[in-house]
Chains A and B, each alone.
Chain A
Amino acid sequence: MKKFLLSFCMLAVASVCVFMTSCKDDDEEAMKQNTTITGNVDDIVAQEIANGVTYSFVVNGTTYNSWDDVVADFEDLPAGTYTIQVIMEKDGETYEGEPTTFTIPTSGSVVVDVDIPTSDSEHSEGATFTINKGHGGGAAQ
């Protein structure tokens, strides 16, 4: 009996921790506050800019001149389907990356592969960014 109670208590504590910290917050403002963009695009872009090139990013027809601006805007974008294209300018020449179509989820995360033209006239390998919409409520596993 004592052991059963101990087991029950531990499972109860685990459940309570998960549920107490949870919230279902699907209003627009909360979603903005809870959107994060991570990945290695900023690192790759920064490295290439140091080599003397400039980049612009076209998201659904809107042009941004820095990745930070893209990230800031992503946090405000509603769920839906978007296209991103990266354009590099080097010595007056323009190099276009392949456009990528992706979906921003209502909640959860999506990993987007993005094609970044680079200063050595090649294309980046493994450039990705992750859009994550959610809040931190804990995990039991």
Chain B
Amino acid sequence: MYFCTDLDIFETFDKLKQLKSYAIIALVCACLSSPLKVWGQDGMTTDIALLLKDEGFEDIKIQVAGDTVFAAFENRAYRGTFRGAATAIKKIAEARSDIHQFEILLNDYKMPQLIVHASRRGAIWNVRVDREMTAAKLRLREETAIAQSTGKIDITVYPMVSLVNNKLDHLFDYAVRLAPAVATTLWTGARLTIQPVFPIAYRLDSWDSKRCIQIGNANLQQQIISNRYVFASAAAGFFFPSRLGIQAQAGIHVGRNLDVYVNGGYTYKANNGPQTGFGVIRGSRKINVMLHADYYEAYTKLQFEIQAGRFLYGDYGGRFDITRHFGEYAIGVYGILTDGEHNAGFHFAIPFGGKRQKRKAFLRLRLPEYYAMEYSMQSNSRYWIEDMGQSFVTQPDQNHAAHYWEPRFVEDYVSRILNNDFQ
């Protein structure tokens, strides 16, 4: 038999006390370690999200894993497609020196368009932009977006100036109009736009519809898909100028710099002003289909576009554009051959509003990011009179600079901004 001595009892008691201390420490550690870890990640995530929110970004999703931040956001504050990404990366890098790798999804109307992979080695930033977005999308799928853009309204006041030089008794017809576009994002990929056009000053023929208040664009556009391989969108409603119907576009990203797509419309000519009334003009149905190829040459920063098919008013032909991108400026020339007629000219899109127009409230009044204009050398021939080589636009900001989601273009300018080579 074994009897405990007093010494044994004391030793056992000490061991128990020791064990109890360990157990308490272990228990406290067990209880706190997990929340501490979660709190640490969440805190970092929240910090970054709030930082981006302060900068004016919307629909922000953040996840931090080690020294990598995964982010997705909508840029409704900074002009263009690259300035927002560069600013976000800069801000995060300044605030969090422990983050070295950035995976940034760039959304347009809540739909991811491109991903920016950026990392810093010393003072040098390495940037790559592509459409390999699947992994980042999956990571951020469960995250809750903050600063939702849904339902927020932008009123963008577009000036419209037209000069037409084809009269014998005076130098040119002119029209100055204002077209405030009321636009909002309804859900992922959906953009609702209503853009009446108000004449301010003009010298025009008595029948010219530009003398009247008109509905320019009043349509719902839905981006259906946008991934590494394909993209598609559709729109329905009033299109500018004076068309009512549906429009669709679908294409493939053949390479990193080359897109091939088909764009078609089924529209009627529409009376769309108080003077002319509202409604469809009987017998004015038109089906237009154009096949496009769009290539961006990164070294020269030249964008080549070729399109062929049936123009809006039924003439068959093609158009070729060469556009040089100077950062946010885009200047190009074009030529059109259609049904035996020809036209040529140039176009440009120049920055108009400020670099940053932050949306501070539910409603924002703003200037457009770019002012675009196109010069046509034809203004009186059969080409002009019979509306040849024409198309319609579904959005007021359809030009060669806004929404230009070209990976190499964005990559170049994000890299230049981060490396202080571009303001």
A: which residues have CB within 8 A of B?
Answer: 3, 6-7, 10, 13-14, 17-19, 21-22, 24-26, 30-31, 34, 36, 38, 105-111, 126, 130, 132-141
Interface code B267-283, partner A: CB below 8 Å = 1, 0 otherwise? 00000000000000001
Are A6 and B350 in contact, CB atoms less than 8 angstroms apart? yes
Q: Which residues of B contact A137 (CB under 8 A)?
A: 165-166, 172, 379-380
Ordered by A's residue number, 28 sampled pairs between the chains whose C-beta atoms are within 8 Å are A3-B351, A7-B350, A10-B329, A17-B375, A18-B163, A19-B165, A30-B168, A34-B168, A36-B380, A107-B167, A107-B170, A108-B167, A109-B385, A110-B207, A126-B283, A130-B385, A138-B378, A138-B379, A139-B162, A139-B163, A139-B166, A139-B376, A139-B378, A139-B384, A140-B162, A140-B375, A141-B164, A141-B376
Known: A21-B165, A22-B171, A24-B169. A138 touches B283 (CB 8 A): no
Pair B329/A18 contact, Cβ less than 8 Å: no
Contact digits for B339-350, partner A, Cβ 8 Å, 1 yes 0 no: 000000110101
Contact of B168 among A134, A138, A141 (CB under 8 A): A134
**Chain B contact residues, majority secondary structure:** mixed
Please give the distance in Å from B380's CB to the nearest CB on chain A: 4
Interface residues of B in 147-178 (CB under 8 A from A): 160-172
A108 touches B386 (CB 8 A): no
The 6 closest A-B pairs by CB, nearest first: A137-B165, A141-B162, A136-B380, A107-B168, A134-B166, A107-B169
Determine whether the beta carbon of A26 is less than 8 Å from that of B169. yes
B234: CB under 8 A from chain A?
no
| Contact between chains at A140 and B163 (CB < 8 Å) | yes
- Cβ of B326 within 8 Å of any chain A Cβ, yes or no, is yes
Residue of B nearest to A24 (CB): B171
Residues of B within 8 A of A140 (CB): 161-163, 373-376
A141 touches B373 (CB 8 A): yes
How far is the CB of A140 from the nearest CB of chain B, in Å? 5
A38-B385, A140-B373 are known contacts. Are A134 and B167 too (CB-CB below 8 A)? Answer: yes
Q: Which residue of B lies closest to A22 (CB)?
A: B165
CA distance A27 to B283 in the complex (A): 39
- Distance between Cα atoms of A140 and B283 in the complex (Å): 30
Judge if B390 is at the interface, Cβ distance under 8 Å: no
Q: List chain B residues, Cβ under 8 A from A17.
A: 346, 375, 377
Which residues from B are CB-within-8-Å of A21?
165, 377
| Cβ-defined contact, B205 with A108, below 8 A | yes
Q: Give Cα A101 to B248, complex, Å.
A: 43
Are B166 and A136 neighbours in the complex by a CB distance under 8 Å? yes
In the assembly, what is the distance between CA of A137 and CA of B345, in Å? 12
Q: Which of B120-168 contact A (CB under 8 A)?
A: 160-168
Query: In the bound complex, what is the Cα–Cα distance between A16 and B294 (angstroms)?
Result: 30
B90 interface contact, C-beta 8 A? no
B33 at the interface (CB under 8 A from A): no
Determine whether the beta carbon of A132 is less than 8 Å from that of B385.
yes
Q: Is B20 on the interface with A (CB-CB < 8 A)?
A: no
Expressed in whole angstroms, the minimum distance between the Cβ of A134 and any Cβ of chain B is 4
A-B contacts besides A38-B386, A139-B376, A141-B373, 5 pairs, CB < 8 Å: A6-B350, A36-B385, A38-B385, A106-B168, A109-B385
User: B375: nearest residue on chain A (CB-CB)?
Assistant: A140
Give A141 to B171 CA distance when docked, in angstroms. 16
B348 proximity list for chain A (CB < 8 A): 10, 14
Residue B21, interface by CB 8 Å: no
Q: Given known contacts A111-B207, A137-B380, is B168 in contact with A22 (CB within 8 Å)?
A: no
Chain A residues in 8 Å Cβ range of B166: 134-137, 139
Instruction: For B326, list chain A residues within 8 Å (CB).
Output: 6
User: A111 — which chain B residues lie within 8 A by C-beta?
Assistant: 207
Is B398 interfacial (CB-CB < 8 Å)?
Answer: no
Interfacial chain A residues near B331, Cβ < 8 Å = 10
Complex Cα–Cα for A137 and B380 (A)? 8
Among A31, A133, A141, residue most surrounded by chain B Cβ atoms (within 10 Å): A141
Complex CA distance for A13 and B166, rounded to whole angstroms: 19
Please name all residues of chain B whose beta carbon is closer than 8 Å to the beta carbon of A139 when the two chains form the complex.
162-166, 375-376, 378-379, 384
A105 CA to B208 CA, complexed, in Å: 14
B18 at the interface (CB under 8 A from A): no
Q: How far is the CB of A24 from chain B (nearest CB, A)?
A: 6
B350 and A18 within 8 A (CB): no
A6 to B348 CA separation, bound complex (whole angstroms): 11
- Out of A26, A106, A136, which one reaches B378, CB within 8 Å? A136
Residue of A nearest to B175 (CB): A141
Residue of A17, A19, A135, A139 most packed against chain B (CB within 10 A): A139
**Chain A residues whose C-beta falls within 8 Å of the C-beta of B161 in the assembled complex:** 140-141
B15 within 8 A of A: no
Q: Output the residue of B169, B331, B351, B373 with the most chain A CB within 10 A.
A: B169
Give the residues in chain A near B283, CB-CB below 8 Å: 126
Once the chains bind, are B385 and A14 in contact (CB under 8 Å)? no
B12 at the interface (CB under 8 A from A): no
Q: A18-B375, A109-B205 are in contact. Are A136 and B381 (CB under 8 A)?
A: yes
B17 within 8 A of A: no
* Residues from chain A with Cβ under 8 Å of B376 in the complex: 138-141
